[in-house]
Amino acid sequence: MIALLALALAGPLDEKVGPDALPAWATPSGEARVEGAWWVTFGDPGLTQIMGAALASNRDLRAAFARAEASHSQVQGSASALMPRVTFDANASVAPTASRGFQFGGIPTLPGQPEPPKTYTTGQAALNASWDVDLFLRNQQTLAASRHDARAADGDRDAAVLAFATRVAEGYFDVIASRLRVGIVEQQVAATTALLEIVELRYQAGESSLEELLQAAERVEAAALARIEHARRLRHAELDRSCAAGALPEPFASLVRETR
């Protein structure tokens, strides 16, 4: 009775640890929480496809999900210590009937009575129930600790997914931006080349000076160098995107396929 009163007065230990017990900087904010597949909101099928393949093939994320599942299993194991335990045992045995008689002569049979059966069967069953009162709240403390461990594992898992998905998305949009810059530079090369042709015609006609011709040629050369530089940056962005997504970038993937 005293143990039950102690449990009633103590209450669940997990309720004593709440947001009020944490410092302000550690209190989670609902506005800052990222839910679900946030990259779908961009409406980009290419990003969605790359993200799905990257998330499915990343081993670090698989390990994070496995750790979270193991933590929740530990919570269930800790909670079972607070539950009543019920066991049921049953057994049966068969033995010769003669073994129940005397050592010599067996069981005597009265005249006119039928012979007893050759064997007999015995059995028993037992239903046992027990409950750990947990007077010193050891099991409740273990359960509370396992719940906090599970929450921490969930947070680590979500943080790993968010960080990985962010890297993949950044790499994807870096490639798009690099391709746009390459396209702009291509237009600049075409425009400066066309302008150079016009200046050459004007120079041949005596309507333009040599200085203007050299300046037009310098602009064409500068645009060509910019095209090479932005093409290099595009290649690096594609490699970074492949590495962020966990895929083997080209030409390394081609070399691996050729060696198989």
Nearest to 58 by CA among 66, 70, 69: 66
Predicted confidence at residue 85, as pLDDT, reads 79
Which of 247-254's residues contact partners 24+ apart within 8 Å by CB, and which partners?
247/53, 247/54, 247/57
The answer to whether 70 touches 154, Cβ cutoff 8 Å, is no
Question: Would you state the CATH architecture of domain 42-82+134-259?
Answer: Up-down Bundle (1.20)
The pLDDT profile of the chain, 260 residues, written as one tens digit per residue, is 333 333 333 444 344 444 444 444 344 554 445 567 888 888 888 888 888 888 888 888 889 999 999 999 888 888 887 778 778 888 888 777 666 654 444 555 556 666 667 777 878 888 888 777 767 878 888 888 889 999 999 999 999 989 888 888 888 888 889 999 999 999 999 999 999 999 999 888 888 888 998 999 999 999 999 999 999 988 888 888 887 777 655 554 454 444 44
Domain residue limits, the chain: 42-82+134-259
Predicted confidence at residue 14, as pLDDT, reads 42
Predicted confidence at residue 180, as pLDDT, reads 92
Nearest to 238 by CA among 65, 93, 106, 50: 50
pLDDT digits (tens, 9 = 90+) for 126-163: 888 877 776 787 888 888 888 999 999 999 999 998 98
Rounded Cα distance between 78 and 132, Å, is 13
